[in-house]
Structure 1
Amino acid sequence: MSRISSLFLYVVCLGLTVFALLGSAARATETGGAISAEAFGDLPNFRLIKLSPTGKRVASLQNYQGGYVLVTQSFDKAESDAVYVSAYKGYEIESVRWVNDHRLIVTVGWTERDGFLRYRMSRIVAMNWDKSNSIQLLKRDLKSQFHSDVISMLPDDPDHILMGVDRSKTNYPDVYKVNVNTGSMKRQVRSRASVRDWWADGKGVVRMGMGMYKLRNRLIFRNSADDSWRTLAKYDVIKDDVPFTMAGFTEVPHVIYVSKLDEKGRKAFYRYDTEQEEFLEKIAGHDTVDVSELIINDKGGLDGYRYLDEMPHTVYRNSLYKALQKMLKKNFPYKQVQMVSKSRDEKKFIIKVMAPDLPGDLYFLNLETKELYKFNETHAMLASSKLSPMEMISYTARDGLAISGYLSLPRGVDRETAKNIPMVILPHGGPFARDSYGFDYWVQFLTTRGYGVLQMNYRGSEGYGTVFEALGHHEWGRKMLEDINDGTKWAIEQGFADADRICIMGGSYGGYAALQAVVKDPTLYKCSVAFAAVTDVSRMMQDDRHFLDYRRWQYYIRNDDLGFADISPINHVDKLNVPILLVHGTEDVRVRYDHSKAMAQKLKRARKSFKFVTLKDGDHHLSNQKDRIKFLQEVEKFLAKNL
């Protein structure tokens, strides 16, 4: 392995002949003055990049004139001049996968309307790398919502994949073997036992299913295609402890990888004997946080695992990856390094190098030639010299709970010199999600404008163990918000934030918090920015009853002491006495545009200070480049006026 650890870093200029640089990817970095809202609002130059199985070809989603197109190219000198660009007008490219070195499958999605409802649809297109022989898979009269459930890529079969499609019963898929060249399909497994999700092992044999009905889950399993299905577990997701969650198949047919809570209440991974119904050894765990995932190879071997405390970590068990990790850390000290894609023989890799003040540089690693080439940047317009580092912090909530978070300060300002600066409090969405260490374009946009930014992982945030996550149950409109406000008070007490110049800003649940946290403490903030915010919890619950798992969601939010009306900002406009910026997309399928529209009407009738910005055709995630730019421009003007 010494040859790997001795690899040197060889950087070439942007414009490697192997890759086409399209649209905004080819523009030079801004110099002098602040980085513009337009530069921050640009979509990343690359959203996805994947090597073919042999590593001889590459497919990427590249930003071209504000939208993503599929670009396929070759490393072969005989094909190096060939660049193929595929665009799907009216559709969003959701994923791209190589079936073999010649053929790919592309998942496209779009939004459908049914009255006031907005929901996503998806289909899969198979095509050759040169755009020829493009066909839609599952083209028969199948009216299901999603045709994107790829259960196995069947690595040993270059012509087929396994797909789940609810042909027999809505939302409960059958499994079909689909020919990617012709579109022909043959059923392998019939829908059964209310199974919504199927898993296949490394050989492409479907051996696990998850059945769900109302609040009950059921796991079914078999050792091989010739064995009968048997029930591994059945439980109520609210009343019962979850016995385990499926994580993957091992080399032994009756032994699987599972996750469950360990003795400290953290998510850990184990080997589980399905015949003896007993847990074997713990294979991945951490003392203070959850282990997020296992890295399992196609043969069922364990290559490593990942966890996230204040920073993301990968622990490798595989000797090759250990050596690669050591070499990459040496070449990129104090940076986050991610292996984005690899060839099947593990000789060629796409590497992404990141940091809070480094949006992402892309490298091609070739172990055969012992070279590491930088070929592009995800945000070529953002100069790292003007971006800010991120510092990990913690504080204590009013009930004694420890809350972790991140503090980002304008470039050149640190905790020692940060005295009474204007501050933006930025709670995350979800709410069962979390903020992490790394580049965040909202954060960096704000720090380059001279604002400090405080993010916190309030109770209910994931990754800190089930006990911490469960503390968020029924606290949607109460203790979660108290944690956020307590973080604001901490920033004031530390002397970082000027108490007279603090704004709260967020999206989705974070947008809800940007309004309701002001309701809970009307004196703490001087303004509020709410993007795609839930403003009426009762309306949200009415909308969500049309979708699966509504009962689980309702249980999570319900509070015996506070009704949905009590925790809805739209019912407390009288307490919103600060300037408010509402921004919402008309095609938001997660939180309906009507939330902000109704809120704006109430604010107007109450003669409050507010501005309502409508993003026509905008979605819940600011996926459109023009919407990102518009949002940041409006935020910049609003904060400059009110802080």
Structure 2
Amino acid sequence: MAVAAFVWGAAGAASAQPAKVPVEAFFQNPAFTAARLSPSGKHVAATFRAKTGRIALVVMDTANLADAKVVGGFSDADVWRFEWVNDGRLVFSMADMLASQAEVRFGTGMFAVDRDGGDFRQLTEVDYGVGRRVGGREFLHLATRLHSVTRAQDSDDVFVLVPEFADDTSSNRLLNRDLLSYSIARLNTRTRALARVNRPGRTWQWVVDAKDVPRAAVTSDKGKAATHYLDPATGQWQQLNEFDAFRGNSFAPVAVTPDGSFYVSAATREGTEGLFRFDLAKRTIDPEAIVSVPKYDFRGQFIMDSKRLLGLRYTTDAESTVWFDPKLKELQAKVDAQLKATVNRLDVPTRPEAPFVLVHAYSDVEPGRYMLYHTETGELTPLGAVQPTVDPKQMAHRELVRYKARDGLEIPAWLTVPHGAKGRKLPMVVLVHGGPWIAAQTWRWDADSQFLASRGYAVLEPQFRGTLGLGFNHFKASWKQWGLAMQDDIADGARWAIAQGIADPQKVCIAGASYGGYSTLMGLVRDPDLYKCGVSWAAVTDIELMHTVNWSDFSEVYKTYGMPVLVGDPKEDTAQLEATSPIKQAAKIRKPLLLAHGGTDRRVPITHGIQFRDAVQKTNPDVEWIEYTDEGHGWALIKNRVDFWTRVEKFLARHIGAQ
């Protein structure tokens, strides 16, 4: 009863807030992280922050939410990802949301438990560098992770991805530099019995069909990748294609549906990726796409049970769901009619025995809420809010805009204007995402941009060339363009905002982390008249160091085959890489600069930050340096997130002061 009361209370906790939302409200850990319906719909599992401050796993009957039971929880860790194995059993992993990277003592692990809390089993190692046996069986390596659950409801099995390393040194338990592949295996969550699947090579991606057979796989070795299909007639793997693992531009497996059809993502005539059926008899892709969206690659998955396709969920600038089942299509319309301002993701039972579906509602101003919807009465019952300290009424809306880069390439960007502002000649922060080759950002709540908007700044987030999901040409245009055309895209976005009257030309600052931090520094080098200041954290400062620093989780494969294509060859492109490395151009940076780095950063080791700090301070007296000694590639601790953004607020106020 106490658990249910806590969960419901969280949903309504965002009531009256002060006019200026405190920085702490934006950067809390989530109070309610996820919910899942059981296959029958009779039960719902959820993860929420308990009174201990840790995230626990609770199970409730959908017909009686007050009868709640905590079935998973730790005193020194949080329950993280979880799934229903069947209607009576769950599998889950853990994380430590209260620890910095330096303090993390264990991996995510994998555990299983019955919905009543019984038959708890540890399935993998947890402690770094420790291999143990229990009941005659050795625990799986701590880097083992869940792939999917089986569709057969009489099974206690799950599919797991088992790592293979180049050697078995203890360092591999900390870094994945020598990770060679992931095999797939079927794991019994009660007996820990493991059935390995024959693989076609060094595999990285797997597709399991509706009959619980691993049917397709992608291998990658020495920069070459290939798609393979397991022929049901012969039981042998067939190679369907081969392509450059880093250049892409081929087809990749998406799903094998209950009728045995094989679907892949492949290039359309418009240059984006669509969803196609692959004709296995002819070994060709059908000429017409099943799904093709202008200006976006297909990113999504089928929703299906063991017998039929129910729908398709995909993402463009926002998430959408197309239901093939007429009843589910009607159900989505009813929910959307009640919740008009949010994306409403439905989690439907695969073999319904109860009149409930789960609704996850979120938007650009709403971090997320979970509710149960009664399909017969139309009643919505709240379960919990992701960030109860955030009041959507005080948040700023996020708008997708498009502008042309100087070479004519169209660049989409997200624009957030302060709540209640008229959007004319505002101080503006150009916020550059990391990666740089990550999926395009979507219409949802974002703590960084919302915080900046709450302090009076317009925020522009360019989806510059190289941002994934926007077509192959958009991706290819980024090759060897660090600090060059990629940088121009960002500057062109700032100038577009000035020309539109959105930004005050005298009050524009550039900011970002990781690649975004690198771009911040290069922006101050290349466009000193455009940006009045910069905020750079966890930044790459020297491209040469990306190749030479050993204490980094960049794989040798990426350094050997990826970076020469995408970033630049350290031998052939020496002059270009020197011209586009901020540390080599540090003397050109004269604008105020806020730098921050984590002492245990494994992606961009702190030597990047220290060497650049020392170089830029020789000619720039207005440099502020922050070192969080226990943090990694970003700020895991709430206190550090609050401290950092409090410093950012003061820094921006001094140099481009919000109106």
TM-score (norm 2): 0.85
CA drift of 1:56 comes to 3.0
The 1:496/1:234 distance shift into structure 2, 3 A limit, reads closer
1:196: which partner in 2? 204
| 2:186 alignment partner, one of 177, 185, 192 | 177
The 1:65/1:40 distance shift into structure 2, 3 A limit, reads farther
The 1:42/1:64 distance shift into structure 2, 3 A limit, reads farther
Structure 1: segments with no counterpart, 5+ residues: 1-14
2:45: which partner in 1? 59
1:261: which partner in 2? 267
Read off the aligned partner of 2:84 and give its amino acid letter: W
Distance 1:141 1:547 in 2: 29
The 1:88/1:133 distance shift into structure 2, 3 A limit, reads same
> Deviation digits for residues 384-433 of structure 1, max 9, x if unmatched?
2221122222222112222221221112123xxx3322111112222123
Q: Which secondary structure state, in structure 2, belongs to the residue aligned with residue 283 of structure 1?
A: coil
Matched, 1:608 2:621: yes
CA contact under 8 A between 1:59 and 1:70: conserved in structure 2?
no
Matched, 1:529 2:535: yes
| 1:558 alignment partner, one of 547, 564, 568 | 568
Count of matched residue pairs: 618
CA drift of 1:213 comes to 0.7
Report which stretch shifted further, 531-540 or 605-614: 605-614
The 1:394/1:28 distance shift into structure 2, 3 A limit, reads closer
Read off the aligned partner of 2:180 and give its amino acid letter: N
Distance 1:49 1:478 in 2: 44
Aligned residues: CA RMSD: 3.2
2:433: which partner in 1? 428
Report which stretch shifted further, 542-551 or 458-467: 542-551
Matched, 1:476 2:473: no
Distance 2:632 2:47 in 1: 19
CA drift of 1:256 comes to 0.4
The 1:153/1:596 distance shift into structure 2, 3 A limit, reads farther
Q: Which secondary structure state, in structure 2, belongs to the residue aligned with residue 99 of structure 1?
A: strand
CA drift of 1:129 comes to 3.3
1:516: which partner in 2? 522
Report matched runs for 1:328-347 at 5 Å: 328-339=335-346, 342=349, 344-345=351-352, 347=355
TM-score (norm 1): 0.87
The 1:565/1:142 distance shift into structure 2, 3 A limit, reads farther
Distance 1:635 1:278 in 2: 54
The 1:120/1:286 distance shift into structure 2, 3 A limit, reads farther
1:162: which partner in 2? 159
The 1:167/1:478 distance shift into structure 2, 3 A limit, reads closer
Distance 1:504 1:157 in 2: 55
2:225: which partner in 1? 217
CA contact under 8 A between 1:110 and 1:121: conserved in structure 2?
no
Distance 2:151 2:160 in 1: 11
Matched, 1:348 2:356: yes
Distance 2:623 2:450 in 1: 25
CA drift of 1:42 comes to 1.2
> Deviation digits for residues 318-364 of structure 1, max 9, x if unmatched?
32332122222222224322225656428422212222222223221
Read off the aligned partner of 1:557 and give its amino acid letter: V
Report matched runs for 1:48-127 at 5 Å: 48-64=34-50, 68-75=54-61, 80-84=66-70, 86-88=72-74, 91=77, 93-108=79-94, 121-127=107-113
| 1:541 alignment partner, one of 516, 535, 547 | 547
1:6: which partner in 2? none
Read off the aligned partner of 1:386 and give its amino acid letter: Q
Report matched runs for 1:281-320 at 5 Å: 281-299=288-306, 301-320=308-327
CA drift of 1:29 comes to 3.5
The 1:500/1:66 distance shift into structure 2, 3 A limit, reads farther
CA drift of 1:479 comes to 0.6
The 1:583/1:47 distance shift into structure 2, 3 A limit, reads farther
CA drift of 1:229 comes to 2.2
CA contact under 8 A between 2:513 and 2:538: conserved in structure 1?
yes
CA contact under 8 A between 2:209 and 2:258: conserved in structure 1?
no
The 1:523/1:42 distance shift into structure 2, 3 A limit, reads same
Moved over 6 A (4+): 22-26, 76-79, 167-170
The 1:76/1:518 distance shift into structure 2, 3 A limit, reads closer
1:593: which partner in 2? 606
CA drift of 1:40 comes to 1.0
2:147: which partner in 1? 150
Query: Taking every aligned residue pair, what percent have the same amino acid on both sides?
Result: 28
Distance 2:139 2:3 in 1: 43
